[in-house]
Structure 1
Amino acid sequence: MKAIAHTTYGPPSVLRLEDMPQPVPGSGEVLIRVHAAGVDPGVWHLTAGMPYLIRAMGFGLRAPKDRVRGQDLAGRVEAVGPDVTRFRPGDEVYGTCDGSYAEYACAKEDNIAHKPANLTFEQAAAVPVSAVTALQAVRDAGRLRAGQRVLVIGAGGGTGHFAVQLAKAFGAHVTGVCSTAKADLVRSVGADEVIDYTREDPTDGTRRYDLVLDTAGNRPLSRLRRALTPRGTLVIIGGENGGKWIGGNDRQLRALLMSPFSGQRLRGLAVMNLHHSDLEVLTEFIEAGSVTPVIDRSYPLADVPEAVDHLMKGHVRGKIVVQM
């Protein structure tokens, strides 16, 4: 089968299209014929091996432990391994696995769900990592309640545009922060107000919010807290700035340490393991029309390096996907 793989850490150019053996599903695993796969910042971090914390977490100290990249996927079940009870060959599914940039991939049964009936494979592949991250930020870390005011920073990006839609679905008044080029997109997914950060500082303290979701990863904690009500909640999602050792995670660590001494709830969020129960919640929202993935552009499998490079330039509206 064809797959995108690499043997060394580095820029997107280290990713190569190769012929590799088709995987065989083990116990509790499903073999999926991949039709589309999503592109998210985690792919870039695992390709580059940066920050170094990633390598220490078991992904390979000197070289990538798993050669094939990709996490999000959507496709059809080709075969099931022993002890699989929720799926059978022919089922249309979506979710995550290690190595989705390939014609075939094995996923754990617990990490996939039946594909929403109203989405194409391409649309479904854009959902798992980004939308589950947004769901956990809004529902779990943010504890959002109907009627609250929410500020989503980075509202035009992969996680951000899902966060806007989910916060609206939970009954909040949502303000989205984005660049001029993404303002129309943020309005189209349901934001009540849009702040263009090139013209206005959303954290100048003139407006306060019950929940601030920061998906952009570059504002100091002190500024983010100015946008919160005295008992408000800040959720920091990921982070693309910072040093080579822990990257943008330093803000999450500082938020965790500071929170017990503040009336405000300061939280960091990194989705390490996606479970099918969250996907099933998203499926309900998607099939009800409350959540719809926005796709910036699609790339063929051979052009994954270009897709990752485009993502990291920061101009993507919604999500990028790869079609097989």
Structure 2
Amino acid sequence: MKAVLQEQFGPPDILRLKEVDRPEAGAGQVLVRVHAAALNPYDWHMMRGDPYAARLMGGMGLTRPKHRVAGIDAAGVVEAVGAGVEGLRPGTPVLGFCAGAFAEYACAEAELLVPKPERLSFEQAAATPMAAVTALRGIRTVGRVRAGQRVLVNGAGGGVGTFAVQIAAGLDAEVTGVCSAGSTEMVRSLGATHVIDHHREDFTERHARYDVILDNVGNLPLGRLRRALTPTGVLVANGGGSPGRVFGAIGSTLRLVAVNTVARHSLRPIIPATPSGPAHEDLLAVTALIDAGQVTPMVGRTYPLADTTEAMRHLEEGHSRGKTVITVH
């Protein structure tokens, strides 16, 4: 089968499309014929081996990538199931976390897959797992957004942001989206009451105050973000604000926790959606929102599998609208 390999750490040019053996589903696993896969910041961190602290923690490998085949978000059709798998059978369309998603076939733990909503294309389904679960946790689990609250989503035009705006609006919050000029109409169409072009205006300089801020960008100091909160407001930090290649978002999270011990506001990091963490219930919650018509994945650019390197370059530019998706079958 064809697969995109990452056999060393480095820039997108290290990715190679090669022929490799098709994986086999072990006990508790599912083999998926991949139709589409999505790119996440997680993928370029795994590609670059960045930050270095994550290598020591065992999440990405010490001297070379832990997973030889790149990618994690996938949608496709069940090809085969391993021993002990229940609820999924060959021919079932699915979405979820598949280590090695940038390939014609990929294996996943059964609990990291859920049936694909019928209303979604495979490209939309692939755009869902990591971004939607992260947004759900940020808005509903960590931010505990309630009806009538004023919620600001920084980075509203990106993968997590587009889901977060829809989830918060579905909870009857008054949503303000911060994004680039090219995304303002899209963000407004997703349910944002107010949209701010970050190139023209700094939302922390406004008089408006927010009950919950979900920061997907990390481009502003904590002090300025806190200035935009109500006295009892909550700041939810989704990585970002990397203080360097050594600690990256790990350092940002530790700093957030330290400041939280003395701040009057509540400063909370999101527990990231990753293939190694529990996600089944969150995936089911997200697909329930999709089935109910409350959430629709936003796909920006699509690339064929052979152009994954170019897709990764686009992702690293940091100006993606919605999700960048790889089409496979």
TM normalised by structure 2 equals 0.96
Distance between the aligned counterparts of 1:97 and 1:54, measured in 2?
Answer: 20
Alpha carbons 1:38, 1:70 under 8 Å: kept? yes
**Equivalence for 1:17:** 17
Counterpart residue number, 2:48:
48
Distance of 1:248 and 1:91 partners within structure 2: 37
Note if 1:301 corresponds to 2:302: no
What amino acid does structure 1 have at the position aligned with 2:288?
A: E
Distance in 1, Cα, partners of 2:127 & 2:312: 14
Deviation at 1:274, TM superposition (A): 4.9
CA contact (8 A) 1:96 1:274 kept: no
| 1:56 CA drift (Å) | 1.6
Q: Is the 8 A contact 2:187 2:195 kept in 1?
A: yes
How many residues are matched?
324
In structure 1, the partner of 2:5 is 5
Match of 1:101 in 2: 102
Structure 2 counterparts to residues 106-121 of structure 1, below 5 A: 106-121=107-122
Q: What residue number does 1:160 align with?
A: 161
Question: What does the per-residue CA deviation read over 1:88-111, in whole Å, with 9 as the maximum and x for residues that have no partner?
Answer: 111010001211001000000111
Corresponding residue for residue 149 of structure 1: 150
Give the % identical residues. Answer: 52
The whole-number CA distance in structure 1 between the counterparts of 2:171 and 2:285 is 12
Match for residue 66 of structure 2?
A: 65
Given the two structures, how large is their TM-score scaled by the length of structure 1? 0.97
Q: Is the 8 A contact 2:239 2:252 kept in 1?
A: no
Equivalent runs, 1:1-324 vs 2, <5 Å? 1-58=1-58, 59-204=60-205, 206-239=207-240, 241-269=242-270, 270-272=272-274, 273-324=277-328
Whole-Å Cα distance in 1 between the matches of residues 204 and 239 of structure 2? 19
1:228-250 CA-to-partner distances (Å, cap 9, x unmatched) read 11111001102163211111332
Any conservation in 2 of the 1:151–1:212 contact (CA below 8 Å)?
Answer: yes
Alpha-carbon RMSD across the aligned residues, in angstroms, is 1.1
Write the letter of the residue equivalent to 1:314. G
Q: Deviations over 1:161-193 (max 9, x none)?
A: 110000011111000001111111111111000
Structure 1 residue matching 2:237: 3-state secondary structure: strand
**2:241 touches 2:252 (CA, 8 Å); kept in 1?**
no
Deviation of 1:291 (Å)? 0.6
Gaps of 5+ in 2: none
Q: In structure 1, what is the Cα distance between the partners aligned to 2:236 and 2:90? A: 39
Residue 146 of structure 1: how far off its partner (Å):
1.1
For residues 115-163 of structure 1, the C-alpha deviation after alignment (integer angstroms, 9 at most, x for no partner) is 0110011110001000100000011110111111100000001100110
Which residue identity is paired with 2:327?
Q
